[in-house]
Chains A and B, each alone.
Chain A
C-alpha cells in the first residue's frame, strides 16, 4: 500500500507553508495539517509591518506576508487539513503514521513517507522564569495580549508593566499605547536589550516608553486582579537587590521572556534536541537524527525574522521531497564543533553526502564588536567573514559550500571570535 502522501507538513505557519510549496515543486505529493482554522500561524496576529524585507523586498504586515505564502500553496492545489489536530505520531508499514482529529472526519489516520515538523514555538511563562507572589488575573504573555487585541479586539488592561525586552514585548508596548493603555515601562533583567534595534527605536523611543536594564519583576501583588508588581535591580549574577526594590501599581503584567520551540509531538519518534536551541539536532538538509523527519521554522530555532523562517521551511520541504523519492543517499553525518563565542549554530551536523550550498544560522553568546567567523573542514577553511557588530538578539545567516570534496572523516569546526582592533 502506498502512503497517503510523500511529504506531510505539520503546521501551516510561514515555515510550513514554504515547506509545502518547496516539496510540491520537487514533484511529490504534499499534505499540510493545521490545528487552527486559518493558515498563517502567529503572523495572523502580527498586524505591524516589517515582514518580508529579505524575501519580498518590501515591508509587509504579518497577515500580508502570510497571504503571499498561502496563495502559493493554494495555486499549487496542495491539500490542506484545517482545524485538524495531530493526536499522535508513530511509524507504520508505509512510513510515518499520523493520528489526526477534526470535526468533519472525526479521528483518522494518514501516512507519509517523510515529515516536516513546522510546529512553531510557545511563550515562556511567568512561573517558568520563577516569578513569585500571587496568581491574579492580568498576567499575560505578550503573544496572548497580541492575540486579544489584534484578533479578538479586546484590551486586557489599562496600566501595564512589560517584563522582558523581546521583540513581541516591545511591539506590544507600542500597541498598548496606541490603544490608550499606559505602559509604565519595559524591564529587562539583562544588561542589554533582547529585541531588535529597530524595535527598540520604533516601539519604545518613539513613544517615550522607558527601558530599564538590569532590573526585573520579583513579585506579583493582588488577589483577584493584578494590583502591582515589585521591580528590583539585579547585580551582575542576576540576583535582585531587595534594598532597591520598588512597588509599581499596575493592572497588567506583559511577559516577553523568551520563546520555546514546540517539539513534544516528535519525542515519541526519538528525535534528539539541542539544549541550546530547544529545537531538533539537524544536518544541513534540516533532517533530524530520525531519517525522514525534518524540522524548520521556530520549532527548529527561534528566529527574529520571518524571512529566515520561510527559508528554513523551503530547505526542509525540498529535502523532505528528495528523501521521499529516495534519491538521497544518507551518509553518516558528523557533528560540527563550536568554538569561541557561538551560542548555537544550526545545523548542528553536516552530511558530507548531501551536495550543494549549506545554509547555516547562528547567534553569539554576547555582544561582539569586530567579530570574525570561520568555518573549517579539517585543515581547510571553507568560509571566513567579519562582522562590525554581532548581538545575541540578531541572528546571522551564512552560506558555504561542501561541493566536490570528500569530507568524510574530517572534523568540522565553526569559530566565532572577537577581533582586537589593530591586531
Chain B
C-alpha cells in the first residue's frame, strides 16, 4: 500500500529510473524507458499494490504520444446546445448507456468522433457474449459479465438483434485436467455462471464431430452466446434515437469547463455543449477524457487482437464456440479460439499483443500465422483457404485488468465506464443499467428525475429479408419492389435494405457503414461485385456525386473523377 512497494516491484522487473508518486489515490509513474514493452511492464508492476489505479506517464524513447484520429469537421453547429446528459463515445457501452438513460425524462446526447457508431472495439471483436466463467470471482468484470449475459435474451428481443445462446466448450488437452472440474465448478458458482458441465471425450465428439482430436473432454458452458456486435451497438443507438436522444457524429470532446468540481460544458470541434452530467465511455481514449476533466486515475494500454473470418460454408462444421483450457494463460487474454457468428461464418482468434497505437488496426503476417497454428486446428475441417478476410481490434485494457464503472470521486457530475475490454460486449447491458442509475442519482441532487412516460423499449426495425420466411419476403417485395433486387449477391442483400439503411434514423452513409448495418460486402467476394452498386445507391439517396462517396468518412473517397467520356448516370447494373 505504499509507494515503496511500487518502487520495489519496478526494481524487480528491472526498471530503474522510474518515479512513483501518488495522486488522487492512484500511483503516477514518470520517467523514461527504451521500449513499449518496458512501459507496459512498468504499468503492470505498479498495479495491484493497493492503489486505485496506475497513471502511467512514462515516456518511451523515440515514441511520441499516439495521436487520436480527429474529425475533419470544425464548425459551431452544436454551440450553445444544452443537455441533461452528454455521453462521450459511440461504442456499445456509450450507445447502451444512452439508451438506458432515455428511460428517464432527461435530454441525452451522445458524442462520437467518428462518422458512425461502433467504429472501434465494438465492431472489431468476435461477437461473443461470454458466460462469465473467465473473470476472477468477486471482480467487477465477473459481476457485469454474468449479469449482462443474462440480460441479453431480453435486450435482443426488445431491440430486435440476433442473439444465439450457442454454448461454448473449453477443451481439455489432457485427461487429468478433468480433475480441475471441482475448481471450475466453484469458480462458476462464485461468479454465478449457469449450467457448467463436464463432458467426456466422446460426449464432446457426439456434439461436435469435427472437434480437435487431441481433446480429452471439455468444460461445457451453455450460457455462452453470440451476437453481431455492430448490430447490437446500432440497435442500442437507434432505440436511443427513437426515444429522443441526440447522436452527434464527427464530434469529439476536446475539453471540459469545470467549475467548483462540476463539469459545466463540453468543448467540442463543433462548439461548446452545456451538460448537467457527463458519461465517459470513450473506449481506448477514456483515460484522456478523464484527464481532460482533471480526474485521471487509470491508464488505457492498447492490446491488439486479430481475427480471421472464414467462409460461411464452414458454418456446418461447428455449432458451439471452441476454446482451449490454458493453465498458464496467454498474457491477459482468454486465449481465443473458434467462434461462430450469427450470420454463419466461423471466426478464429483473437490473439493479444500490446501495442502503442490505440487505433492501430493494421494486421501482420505473424498474427495470422499465430491464429492458423493455434486456433484453426481446434476444428479438423477448417483450412487456411477458408479464410475470406481478417481484421484487428484494440482492447481498452487497464493495468488492473478491471472494468471501471463508477461515479468520479472528484467531479460531482461525471461517471466513468472505462477499461471495458473483453468481456465488455457481454457486460454492456448490465454496465449501461448501472451507469444510467449512477447518472440519475447525480442529477437527482440538482433536478427532478422522473421516468420517461414515452419510453419505448422496442426498437422499430427495418426488414432483413434473408432472415424472413419466403412468404413474408414475397409480401415485402410486393409492397416495395426494391426489396426484390439483390445488390450484394454473396450475402443476398437487396437494394431496399440498403436504401432503408441509408435513410434510417442512424443513417449509414459510407461503404463501411452499410457493411456494419446490412452486411453488404461482408461475403466471400468482399465487395468486388457490389461496391460500384453501393456507391451509386449512396450517391442517389444522398444527392451527392459518386466522387463524394467514401469508404469510412472524409478522406476515404472511393473515386477521384469522372472518366474522359464522363459518367453514365449511375451505372449499367440497373436502368
Residues of A within 8 A of B (CB): 35-38, 44-45, 83, 85, 87, 99, 101-108, 122-123, 125, 127-128, 130, 132-138, 140-141, 143-144, 147-149, 151-158, 179-180, 223-225, 251, 264, 267
Name the contact of B486 in the complex, choosing from A101, A138, A143 (C-beta under 8 A).
Answer: A101
Tell me whether A132 and B484 are in contact (CB under 8 A): no
Chain A proximity of B112: nearest CB distance (Å): 17
Chain B proximity of A300: nearest CB distance (Å): 18
Name the contact of A154 in the complex, choosing from B387, B482, B561 (C-beta under 8 A).
Answer: B561
Known A125-B526, A147-B532, A151-B532; contact A107-B477, beta-carbon cutoff 8 A: yes
Tell me whether B570 and A132 are in contact (CB under 8 A): no
Name the contact of A101 in the complex, choosing from B362, B473, B531, B572 (C-beta under 8 A).
Answer: B473
Name the contact of A35 in the complex, choosing from B364, B473, B489, B553 (C-beta under 8 A).
Answer: B489
Name the contact of A151 in the complex, choosing from B478, B489, B573 (C-beta under 8 A).
Answer: B573
Chain B 375-389, CB-CB to A under 8 Å as 1, else 0, gives 000000000000111
CA distance A108 to B478 in the complex (A): 12
Chain B proximity of A188: nearest CB distance (Å): 20
CA distance A136 to B361 in the complex (A): 11
CA distance A83 to B481 in the complex (A): 12
Chain B proximity of A2: nearest CB distance (Å): 23
CA distance A134 to B552 in the complex (A): 13
Tell me whether A83 and B556 are in contact (CB under 8 A): no
Within 8 A of A (CB), among B547-564: 547, 550-564
Q: Which residue of B lies closest to A44 (CB)?
A: B572
Tell me whether A156 and B559 are in contact (CB under 8 A): yes
- B524 / chain A contacts, CB cutoff of 8 Å: 122, 264
CA distance A134 to B483 in the complex (A): 34
Name the contact of B364 in the complex, choosing from A132, A138, A156, A224 (C-beta under 8 A).
Answer: A132
- B540 / chain A contacts, CB cutoff of 8 Å: none
Tell me whether B473 and A107 are in contact (CB under 8 A): yes
Chain B 340-363, CB-CB to A under 8 Å as 1, else 0, gives 000000000000000000010111
CA distance A105 to B477 in the complex (A): 8
Tell me whether B563 and A107 are in contact (CB under 8 A): no
Tell me whether B526 and A103 are in contact (CB under 8 A): no
- B575 / chain A contacts, CB cutoff of 8 Å: 37
Chain B 472-497, CB-CB to A under 8 Å as 1, else 0, gives 01110110011111100100100000
Name the contact of B567 in the complex, choosing from A37, A44, A153 (C-beta under 8 A).
Answer: A153
Known A144-B532, A154-B561; contact A106-B553, beta-carbon cutoff 8 A: no
- A251 / chain B contacts, CB cutoff of 8 Å: 560
B444 CB within 8 Å of chain A: no
Chain A proximity of B166: nearest CB distance (Å): 22
Chain B proximity of A226: nearest CB distance (Å): 9
Given A128-B389, A153-B565, 17 other A-B contacts at CB below 8 A? A36-B573, A87-B492, A102-B485, A125-B388, A127-B389, A127-B526, A130-B365, A132-B363, A136-B556, A141-B528, A143-B528, A149-B563, A152-B535, A156-B560, A157-B560, A158-B560, A267-B313
B525 CB within 8 Å of chain A: yes
Tell me whether B567 and A106 are in contact (CB under 8 A): no
Tell me whether B482 and A223 are in contact (CB under 8 A): no
CA distance A135 to B559 in the complex (A): 16
Tell me whether A151 and B572 are in contact (CB under 8 A): yes
B370 CB within 8 Å of chain A: no
B69 CB within 8 Å of chain A: yes
Tell me whether B481 and A104 are in contact (CB under 8 A): yes
- A37 / chain B contacts, CB cutoff of 8 Å: 572-575
Tell me whether B546 and A154 are in contact (CB under 8 A): yes
Q: Which residue of A lies closest to B530 (CB)?
A: A144
Residues of B within 8 A of A (CB): 69, 313, 359, 361-365, 368, 387-391, 470-471, 473-475, 477-478, 481-486, 489, 492, 511, 524-529, 531-532, 535-536, 546-547, 550-568, 570-575
Tell me whether B365 and A224 are in contact (CB under 8 A): no
Pick from B69, B359, B535, B563 the residue with the most CB of A within 10 Å: B563
CA distance A44 to B573 in the complex (A): 10
CA distance A154 to B562 in the complex (A): 4
Chain A proximity of B402: nearest CB distance (Å): 31
Tell me whether A106 and B473 are in contact (CB under 8 A): yes
- Could you jot down 13 A-B contacts, CB within 8 Å? A103-B484, A105-B484, A106-B478, A122-B528, A125-B388, A125-B525, A127-B388, A137-B551, A147-B532, A152-B567, A155-B560, A224-B551, A264-B524
Q: Which residue of B lies closest to A119 (CB)?
A: B489
Known A44-B572, A106-B484, A151-B568; contact A125-B389, beta-carbon cutoff 8 A: yes
CA distance A35 to B529 in the complex (A): 12
Tell me whether A155 and B563 are in contact (CB under 8 A): yes
CA distance A122 to B368 in the complex (A): 24
CA distance A127 to B567 in the complex (A): 30
CA distance A123 to B387 in the complex (A): 15
Q: Which residue of B lies closest to A63 (CB)?
A: B572
Chain A proximity of B206: nearest CB distance (Å): 24
CA distance A148 to B533 in the complex (A): 10
Q: Which residue of A lies closest to B546 (CB)?
A: A154
CA distance A12 to B450 in the complex (A): 63
Tell me whether B484 and A101 are in contact (CB under 8 A): yes
CA distance A38 to B568 in the complex (A): 15
CA distance A152 to B69 in the complex (A): 32
- A147 / chain B contacts, CB cutoff of 8 Å: 532, 571
**Smallest CB-CB A-B distances: 9 pairs:** A103-B484, A224-B555, A103-B481, A137-B551, A153-B567, A106-B474, A224-B556, A127-B389, A137-B556
- A155 / chain B contacts, CB cutoff of 8 Å: 559-563
CA distance A155 to B531 in the complex (A): 14
CA distance A101 to B559 in the complex (A): 31
Chain B proximity of A3: nearest CB distance (Å): 20
- B477 / chain A contacts, CB cutoff of 8 Å: 101, 103, 106-107
Tell me whether B552 and A224 are in contact (CB under 8 A): yes
CA distance A43 to B255 in the complex (A): 56
Q: Which residue of A lies closest to B476 (CB)?
A: A106
Chain A proximity of B248: nearest CB distance (Å): 21
Tell me whether B69 and A144 are in contact (CB under 8 A): no
Tell me whether A180 and B564 are in contact (CB under 8 A): yes
Chain B proximity of A302: nearest CB distance (Å): 15
Tell me whether B387 and A102 are in contact (CB under 8 A): no
- A133 / chain B contacts, CB cutoff of 8 Å: 362-363
Tell me whether B568 and A152 are in contact (CB under 8 A): yes
Q: Which residue of B lies closest to A142 (CB)?
A: B528
CA distance A180 to B574 in the complex (A): 28
Chain A proximity of B532: nearest CB distance (Å): 5
Chain A proximity of B407: nearest CB distance (Å): 35
Tell me whether A130 and B528 are in contact (CB under 8 A): no
CA distance A151 to B368 in the complex (A): 36
Tell me whether B568 and A137 are in contact (CB under 8 A): no
- B313 / chain A contacts, CB cutoff of 8 Å: 264, 267
CA distance A133 to B357 in the complex (A): 14
Known A102-B484, A107-B473; contact A132-B529, beta-carbon cutoff 8 A: no
Tell me whether A134 and B362 are in contact (CB under 8 A): yes
- A157 / chain B contacts, CB cutoff of 8 Å: 560
Tell me whether A225 and B532 are in contact (CB under 8 A): no
- A122 / chain B contacts, CB cutoff of 8 Å: 524-525, 528-529
- B478 / chain A contacts, CB cutoff of 8 Å: 106
Name the contact of B485 in the complex, choosing from A103, A151, A152 (C-beta under 8 A).
Answer: A103
Q: Which residue of B lies closest to A178 (CB)?
A: B564
Q: Which residue of B lies closest to A179 (CB)?
A: B563
- B391 / chain A contacts, CB cutoff of 8 Å: 135
Q: Which residue of A lies closest to B485 (CB)?
A: A103
CA distance A157 to B551 in the complex (A): 14
Q: Which residue of B lies closest to A40 (CB)?
A: B572
Tell me whether A134 and B361 are in contact (CB under 8 A): yes
Q: Which residue of A lies closest to B511 (CB)?
A: A137
- B536 / chain A contacts, CB cutoff of 8 Å: 152
CA distance A392 to B58 in the complex (A): 58
Known A148-B559, A154-B546, A154-B547; contact A104-B570, beta-carbon cutoff 8 A: no
- B547 / chain A contacts, CB cutoff of 8 Å: 154
Tell me whether A136 and B363 are in contact (CB under 8 A): no
Name the contact of B69 in the complex, choosing from A154, A223, A264 (C-beta under 8 A).
Answer: A223
Q: Which residue of A lies closest to B484 (CB)?
A: A103
